[in-house]
Amino acid sequence: MRRIISAGLLATAAVALAPAVVHADETFSVRLSVVPIDNQTARTTAGTGAVTVVLIEDRLFLTGAFDGMGSAAIAAHIHEGASGQRGPIAFQLSVSKRADGLVGGGVTLSDEEVETLRRGGYYVQIHTETNPGGELRGWILPSE
Protein backbone atom coordinates (compact mmCIF):
# COMPACT_ATOMS: atom_id res chain seq x y z
CA MET A 1 0.00 0.00 0.00
CA ARG A 2 1.34 3.43 -0.94
CA ARG A 3 0.86 6.57 1.09
CA ILE A 4 -1.20 9.44 -0.23
CA ILE A 5 0.70 12.29 -1.85
CA SER A 6 -1.80 15.05 -1.14
CA ALA A 7 -5.13 15.15 0.62
CA GLY A 8 -7.95 17.28 1.93
CA LEU A 9 -7.93 20.87 0.78
CA LEU A 10 -4.92 20.34 -1.49
CA ALA A 11 -6.77 17.62 -3.42
CA THR A 12 -9.93 19.74 -3.50
CA ALA A 13 -8.00 22.70 -4.90
CA ALA A 14 -6.18 20.51 -7.41
CA VAL A 15 -9.43 19.00 -8.68
CA ALA A 16 -11.08 22.41 -8.89
CA LEU A 17 -8.17 23.96 -10.78
CA ALA A 18 -7.09 20.98 -12.87
CA PRO A 19 -9.46 21.42 -15.86
CA ALA A 20 -8.44 25.07 -16.22
CA VAL A 21 -4.73 24.27 -16.12
CA VAL A 22 -4.45 21.06 -18.14
CA HIS A 23 -6.75 20.24 -21.05
CA ALA A 24 -5.78 16.57 -21.40
CA ASP A 25 -7.28 15.45 -18.08
CA GLU A 26 -9.68 12.56 -17.65
CA THR A 27 -12.56 12.66 -15.20
CA PHE A 28 -14.13 9.78 -13.32
CA SER A 29 -16.86 9.52 -10.74
CA VAL A 30 -17.75 7.27 -7.85
CA ARG A 31 -21.18 6.62 -6.36
CA LEU A 32 -20.67 5.34 -2.82
CA SER A 33 -23.32 2.95 -1.58
CA VAL A 34 -23.68 0.41 1.23
CA VAL A 35 -21.88 -2.92 1.09
CA PRO A 36 -23.26 -5.35 3.68
CA ILE A 37 -20.91 -8.29 3.88
CA ASP A 38 -23.18 -10.66 5.82
CA ASN A 39 -26.51 -10.74 7.70
CA GLN A 40 -24.95 -9.11 10.77
CA THR A 41 -23.47 -6.14 8.90
CA ALA A 42 -26.62 -5.71 6.81
CA ARG A 43 -28.36 -4.37 9.96
CA THR A 44 -25.62 -1.79 10.69
CA THR A 45 -24.73 -0.62 7.17
CA ALA A 46 -26.08 2.75 5.98
CA GLY A 47 -25.10 5.86 4.06
CA THR A 48 -24.36 7.30 0.65
CA GLY A 49 -21.72 9.45 -0.95
CA ALA A 50 -20.04 10.60 -4.12
CA VAL A 51 -16.44 11.19 -5.18
CA THR A 52 -15.06 13.13 -8.15
CA VAL A 53 -11.79 11.84 -9.60
CA VAL A 54 -9.44 13.60 -12.03
CA LEU A 55 -6.43 12.04 -13.75
CA ILE A 56 -3.85 14.57 -14.95
CA GLU A 57 -1.03 12.75 -16.73
CA ASP A 58 0.01 10.27 -14.02
CA ARG A 59 -1.48 12.14 -11.02
CA LEU A 60 -4.83 11.03 -9.63
CA PHE A 61 -6.84 13.44 -7.45
CA LEU A 62 -9.99 12.49 -5.51
CA THR A 63 -12.43 14.60 -3.52
CA GLY A 64 -15.85 13.66 -2.21
CA ALA A 65 -18.38 13.59 0.58
CA PHE A 66 -20.45 10.99 2.41
CA ASP A 67 -23.25 10.99 4.97
CA GLY A 68 -25.66 8.82 6.92
CA MET A 69 -23.25 6.03 7.85
CA GLY A 70 -24.07 3.87 10.88
CA SER A 71 -20.88 4.85 12.74
CA ALA A 72 -17.76 6.99 12.37
CA ALA A 73 -15.30 6.37 9.55
CA ILE A 74 -11.97 4.90 10.63
CA ALA A 75 -10.22 4.67 7.24
CA ALA A 76 -10.69 5.08 3.49
CA HIS A 77 -8.79 3.44 0.66
CA ILE A 78 -8.66 2.82 -3.04
CA HIS A 79 -8.81 -0.94 -3.50
CA GLU A 80 -7.92 -2.86 -6.64
CA GLY A 81 -10.65 -5.17 -7.89
CA ALA A 82 -12.82 -5.85 -10.91
CA SER A 83 -16.41 -4.60 -10.78
CA GLY A 84 -18.30 -6.44 -8.07
CA GLN A 85 -15.15 -8.15 -6.74
CA ARG A 86 -13.40 -7.29 -3.48
CA GLY A 87 -9.68 -6.68 -3.68
CA PRO A 88 -6.59 -5.55 -1.79
CA ILE A 89 -5.84 -2.00 -0.68
CA ALA A 90 -3.88 -0.11 -3.32
CA PHE A 91 -3.79 3.45 -1.92
CA GLN A 92 -4.68 5.20 1.32
CA LEU A 93 -7.06 8.20 1.39
CA SER A 94 -7.82 10.88 3.97
CA VAL A 95 -11.26 10.70 5.58
CA SER A 96 -13.24 12.59 8.21
CA LYS A 97 -13.50 10.44 11.32
CA ARG A 98 -17.29 10.91 11.52
CA ALA A 99 -20.45 9.32 10.14
CA ASP A 100 -20.59 12.15 7.60
CA GLY A 101 -17.76 14.14 6.12
CA LEU A 102 -15.13 14.31 3.41
CA VAL A 103 -12.88 11.81 1.68
CA GLY A 104 -10.00 12.66 -0.64
CA GLY A 105 -6.39 12.42 -1.62
CA GLY A 106 -3.97 12.21 -4.47
CA VAL A 107 -1.45 9.73 -5.74
CA THR A 108 1.01 9.30 -8.61
CA LEU A 109 0.23 6.23 -10.72
CA SER A 110 2.50 4.00 -12.78
CA ASP A 111 1.56 3.35 -16.43
CA GLU A 112 0.12 -0.03 -15.40
CA GLU A 113 -1.96 1.59 -12.65
CA VAL A 114 -3.33 4.17 -15.11
CA GLU A 115 -4.51 1.32 -17.35
CA THR A 116 -6.10 -0.45 -14.35
CA LEU A 117 -7.94 2.80 -13.56
CA ARG A 118 -9.16 3.22 -17.15
CA ARG A 119 -10.59 -0.30 -17.27
CA GLY A 120 -12.51 0.17 -13.99
CA GLY A 121 -10.17 -1.86 -11.80
CA TYR A 122 -10.25 0.39 -8.70
CA TYR A 123 -12.90 1.23 -6.13
CA VAL A 124 -13.15 3.60 -3.16
CA GLN A 125 -14.14 2.10 0.17
CA ILE A 126 -14.86 3.74 3.53
CA HIS A 127 -14.39 1.58 6.63
CA THR A 128 -16.25 2.38 9.88
CA GLU A 129 -16.12 1.52 13.58
CA THR A 130 -19.13 -0.79 13.24
CA ASN A 131 -18.10 -2.19 9.86
CA PRO A 132 -14.28 -2.26 9.69
CA GLY A 133 -14.53 -4.48 6.59
CA GLY A 134 -16.18 -1.59 4.73
CA GLU A 135 -19.46 0.31 4.90
CA LEU A 136 -19.51 2.34 1.68
CA ARG A 137 -18.01 1.29 -1.65
CA GLY A 138 -18.07 2.52 -5.24
CA TRP A 139 -16.09 1.78 -8.39
CA ILE A 140 -14.12 4.54 -10.11
CA LEU A 141 -15.73 4.84 -13.55
CA PRO A 142 -15.32 7.32 -16.43
CA SER A 143 -17.66 10.31 -16.16
CA GLU A 144 -20.23 10.60 -18.91
Backbone phi, psi, residue 104, to 5°: -175, 180
pLDDT of residue 36: 63
Low-confidence ranges of the chain (pLDDT < 50): 1-23
Fold of 8-142: Immunoglobulin-like (2.60.40)
Q: Is residue 76 within 8 Å of residue 127, measured between CB atoms?
A: yes
pLDDT of residue 139: 97
pLDDT of residue 10: 39
Nearest to 79 by CA among 93, 68, 65, 69: 93
Q: Is residue 136 within 8 Å of residue 69, measured between CB atoms?
A: yes
Could you give the count of Cα atoms lying within 13 Å of 31 in the half-sphere of its Cβ? 3
pLDDT of residue 84: 84
Q: Is residue 126 within 8 Å of residue 74, measured between CB atoms?
A: no
pLDDT of residue 18: 45
Q: Tell me the sheet residues that pair with 138.
A: 124
